[in-house]
Structure formats: C-alpha cells, structure tokens
Amino acid sequence: MGYPWSDAIRHIPFGLILKDGKKLSTRKGKIILLEEVLSEAILLAEKTIEEKNPSLINKKEVAKAVGVGAVIFSDLKQHRKHDIEFDLKKMLQTEGETGPYVQYTYARACSILRKASAPNTFEITDVNDYEWEVIKSLQQFPSVILRATDEYDPSLLAKYAVHLAQSFNSFYGNVQIMTDTKHLSYRIGLVQSVVIVLEESLRLLGIKAPAEM
C-alpha cells in the first residue's frame, strides 16, 4: 500500500463467518451482503417494536439503532479468532448475550432516572448483595477497556457489557429501588452510574444506546 512497515502495524487475525455450519465464500457465490443484512435486521427490529411498544416515539430511529447494533454486537462479542455462526434472529433477541439485551437494559435504567431526580451526591450506608454485584461490575470497567486495547479484543468489552447488564437486571428485579426512601438517593446514584457505563461501553463498540425501546 506504499506505507513503511513499523512496530505500530499489527496483523489481527479473525475467524470465519458461517451459515448453517458452512463458511461463506465469495468465490463460490456463497455470500451474504452487509447492506441486505442491515436492512433485514432493521425491519425485524421495527416489527418487534410494533408488537411490544407501538406508541414509541422515533420508532424508525430506534429500530435502526437496535438492528444495526445487533449485527455489530454479535460480531464483536466473539473472540476474533473464533468462527461466527450467522443467525439474524438470535442476534435480535432481547434476552441472552445480545446487543438488544444490553440496549434494553440501558433503556430500563434510563426509565428509572426519568421517574426520579438523579442526586448530585449520595451517602452509601448498608449495601445488599445485589447492589454489591453492580458495584463490583462498575469497578471493573477501566481495566476491561485496557485489556481489550492491549489484546486487540473487543469481545472483552462486549462480554463485560452483558455482565453489567445482568448484574443490573438482578438488582432491578430484587430491590425496591423507588419505594425505599432511606436508600433512594444512593440507589438512584447507582442506576445513574450503570447508565453512564453501559452507554460508553456501547459507544466504544460502535453501537447507539436508545433511551427508550
């Protein structure tokens, strides 16, 4: 390409993309065009939104963020040396290790913040097990970014985002966030921290984070 070789240049190997267990091949005409994939992903996301939240504002914009994000996340969550089985329906599931699952968790956390004023400061008193898991996950964020950078491995960040989302959803499902006034300020602060970290995790992966889904 006309550029001098230097220590800054790295060869980053990656695996194959498979369809029904067979590798795609441009020479044999067995290919799936990205433009077609993204269009279909967006249409499927639109259909899901119409079924689950038909009154959502900016449905097309959200569907694009979810559809495109699902494809990106499915690719990046795998270690780059592993083969990837292409399955669009699995990519778009809102449960499991998917982009829509992380996006939905982000939107859920944003919904909590819309219902309560986020505190400028808060005092941590007693911490239950569900809160502690979220706190531990949040604490790992800087080191995960460094590892992903050093190892040229975005899957570390994608898997981290899933783990944080799982920790938050467990917290959300088992803790009365809004009704316990004694701990409200601290818990809203915790939710706010999750929103910040999930949004930044998705941004680093090239994925948008809709505040509503």
pLDDT tens digits along 174-189: 998 888 777 888 899 9
How far is 109 from 10, CA to CA, in rounded Å?
Answer: 38
Average pLDDT over residues 148-164: 96
Range with the largest mean pLDDT of 21-35, 72-86, 96-110: 96-110
Contact indicator for 89, 83 with CB cutoff of 8 Å: no
The pLDDT confidence band at residue 37, using thresholds 50, 70 and 90, is confident
Q: How confident is the model at residue 202 (pLDDT cuts 50, 70, 90)?
A: very high
Question: Between residues 180 and 96, which one has the greater pLDDT?
Answer: 96
Q: How confident is the model at residue 142 (pLDDT cuts 50, 70, 90)?
A: very high
Q: What is the pLDDT of the chain when averaged over all its residues?
A: 88
Give the residue carrying structure tokens 């996301």.
Answer: 45
Structure tokens at 33: 């065009």
pLDDT band for position 13 (cuts 50, 70, 90): confident
Q: What number is the average pLDDT over the span 116-140?
A: 82
In CATH, what class is 17-204? Answer: mainly alpha
Q: How many CB atoms lie within 10 A of CB 197?
A: 22
Mean pLDDT of 3-17: 75
Q: What is the mean pLDDT of residues 161-185?
A: 91
Instruction: Name the least confident of 3-7, 157-161, 176-180, 186-190.
Output: 3-7
List Cα–Cα distances, 109 to 3, 56, 83, 91, 142, in angstroms. 46, 17, 33, 22, 21
| C-alpha to C-alpha distance for 52 and 56, rounded to whole angstroms | 9
Predicted TM-score (pTM) of the model is 0.85
Mean pLDDT of 144-154: 95
Sketch the domain layout of the chain as residue ranges.
17-204
Which residue from 83, 79, 92 is spatially nearest to 37, judged by alpha carbons? Answer: 92
The residue written with tokens 């809004």 in the block is 178
